[in-house]
Chain A
């Protein structure tokens, strides 16, 4: 049996995830694509369903009991997220559809307002496209220039030349907490301190980090931390970002419309205070309520154990993949990386591999993982990627490796 991994009772966890009981063809589902989106426990599914069945109304509008119940649950989810991330208060958590929308909100609302020609935005070569393209769009409007921290052959940030990349011209450092393509965990504290020393703000893409690691935004000192609810057991379109009170106050909203305004005149409007000035129109109320239930679930497991599970299963997967003869991209030391493991198995193209693995019920990702800069750095067009979360077992890693050998057999013939 699967038993315990990193202190988590994985069998008990699996019983909470209805989808893990299904089959693909005649094979049990082996879901190894949680870096793309996690599966959802029944507690989250039920919280969202219960909202619709019992409390559905628009938030912050209805002067009736249902409206108040909806508002209370929506704001309750915000308070849970604030506590989960160590934020000073719920008003520093802005709801969005996830990391992509969060970074766009900051790149437009802060970037377009404050960046000027000659300013620089420093990103890294391991960023997801979501932390590149919004800054390119802002750079095109403001005349700011983008620069990139290169990578070492081991898939770490190459900080040897950081002094010349991070200068007084740098106004923003945008960096991932954990690479979705290489698994690398970045030295956030060191980077944040260095960026603040030159007066830059730091925008952390925590899409991959937040599901697996305890984060305290105050201790970390970041100015923005963006996260995706759907990668941390929550519903799709849930998520948001933390921002310092100072930054949120200074930023312009990206979207205008209902609910974000204080007063509207023919020629101008005044906005609500943060975080509401960023939340135009009807929000993803049921989804954010579902995310609140996901936070409860993760807190009950304990984020230390969640990370211990990730580290243990990643170490096991790295050992097994390397032993099977796969080429693994990114760090080989599980203590400095997360559970998104990119690899290429022998001569089997990742797309062929994913198709063959699917026949065994094994779901992995194949492609560039929205990280084309990483692919180019390592001179490949695509990789296969297996990624793990709290419900994955070492048995599933073994099934992955068995399936790799089967694929190898088909192509060796």
Chain B
């Protein structure tokens, strides 16, 4: 059954019990973006400790794919280096583009989102949090607005 590929236990678990979905007062970097097409909205908050991600949190609302992706992302990158986070973002995008067979050791729970590749219109739901993360890390402070690239 194809749906099992997308609505996996892991995804529903992160959707219903999101990790790191909270305020992060010590965050120096934040970015908020929405996808006006469906209303998915994600804020990513990052507290840096040198070149490491000391803490990361997210806030937002939207479909199970966008919100579970954000939750899994915070677990995957928290405590690691900024460079690692950006490399992981690239790997995740490649997986969602169907260009890369995912490395479970590196991507962990995120591999559950691989099934979304079969639903092209939903891919941007999965990638939204990562785009927002990248912008938060690239930027100097906070940014808000819609993400034009996320409009399908």
Q: Which residues of A contact B (CB under 8 A)?
A: 25, 349-352, 355-356, 359, 366-368, 372, 375, 380-382, 410-411, 413
Report the tally of A-B residue pairs with Cβ distances under 8 A: 52
User: Are the CB atoms of B7 and A351 closer together than 8 Å?
Assistant: no
User: Are the CB atoms of A367 and B37 closer together than 8 Å?
Assistant: yes
Chain A residues closer than 8 Å to B140, beta-carbon distance: none
Q: Which residues, 1 to 37 on B, are CB-close (under 8 Å) to A?
A: 1-3, 6-7, 12, 34, 36-37
Report how far A350 CA is from B12 CA in the complex, Å. 15
User: Are the CB atoms of B3 and A356 closer together than 8 Å?
Assistant: yes
Given A352-B7, A356-B3, A410-B3, 19 new contacts (CB under 8 A): A25-B2, A349-B63, A350-B38, A351-B65, A351-B122, A355-B3, A355-B122, A359-B2, A359-B3, A367-B37, A368-B36, A375-B39, A381-B34, A381-B38, A381-B40, A381-B61, A382-B38, A410-B12, A413-B12
Report how far A351 CA is from B67 CA in the complex, Å. 12
**Chain B: interface residue total (CB-CB under 8 A):** 21
Q: Which residues of B contact A (CB under 8 A)?
A: 1-3, 6-7, 12, 34, 36-41, 61-65, 119, 122, 125
Q: Which residue of A lies closest to B3 (CB)?
A: A359
A349-B62, A351-B63, A382-B38 are known contacts. Are A411 and B12 too (CB-CB below 8 A)? yes
Cross-interface CB contact of B6 among A25, A349, A350, A355, cutoff 8 Å: A355
Report how far A407 CA is from B115 CA in the complex, Å. 17
Report how far A413 CA is from B36 CA in the complex, Å. 29
Chain B residues closer than 8 Å to A410, beta-carbon distance: 3, 7, 12
Report how far A298 CA is from B56 CA in the complex, Å. 58
User: Are the CB atoms of A352 and B65 closer together than 8 Å?
Assistant: yes
Chain A residues closer than 8 Å to B36, beta-carbon distance: 368, 372
Output the least CB separation between B119 and chain A (Å).
Answer: 6
Q: Which residue of B lies closest to A411 (CB)?
A: B12
Report how far A361 CA is from B103 CA in the complex, Å. 33
Chain B residues closer than 8 Å to A367, beta-carbon distance: 37-39
User: Are the CB atoms of A368 and B12 closer together than 8 Å?
Assistant: no
Q: Closest 7 interchain pairs by CB?
A: A381-B39, A351-B63, A349-B63, A382-B39, A359-B3, A352-B64, A352-B63
Q: Which residue of B lies closest to A368 (CB)?
A: B39
A351-B122, A355-B6 are known contacts. Are A366 and B12 too (CB-CB below 8 A)? no
Chain A residues closer than 8 Å to B63, beta-carbon distance: 349-352
Chain A residues closer than 8 Å to B62, beta-carbon distance: 349, 351, 381
Report how far A356 CA is from B122 CA in the complex, Å. 12
Report how far A375 CA is from B62 CA in the complex, Å. 14
Output the least CB separation between B9 and chain A (Å).
Answer: 8
Report how far A89 CA is from B89 CA in the complex, Å. 61
Chain A residues closer than 8 Å to B37, beta-carbon distance: 367-368
Report how far A19 CA is from B3 CA in the complex, Å. 24
- 19 inter-chain pairs at a CB distance below 8 angstroms, sorted by A residue, are A25-B2, A349-B62, A351-B38, A351-B62, A352-B64, A366-B38, A367-B37, A367-B38, A367-B39, A368-B36, A368-B39, A375-B39, A381-B34, A381-B39, A381-B40, A381-B41, A382-B38, A411-B12, A413-B12
Chain B residues closer than 8 Å to A355, beta-carbon distance: 3, 6, 119, 122
Report how far A356 CA is from B39 CA in the complex, Å. 18
Report how far A154 CA is from B68 CA in the complex, Å. 33
User: Are the CB atoms of A356 and B7 closer together than 8 Å?
Assistant: yes
Report how far A352 CA is from B2 CA in the complex, Å. 14
Chain A residues closer than 8 Å to B64, beta-carbon distance: 349, 352, 411
Output the least CB separation between A64 and chain B (Å).
Answer: 46
Report how far A351 CA is from B7 CA in the complex, Å. 12
Q: Which residue of B lies closest to A25 (CB)?
A: B2
Report how far A25 CA is from B118 CA in the complex, Å. 13
Report how far A190 CA is from B119 CA in the complex, Å. 46
Chain A residues closer than 8 Å to B12, beta-carbon distance: 410-411, 413
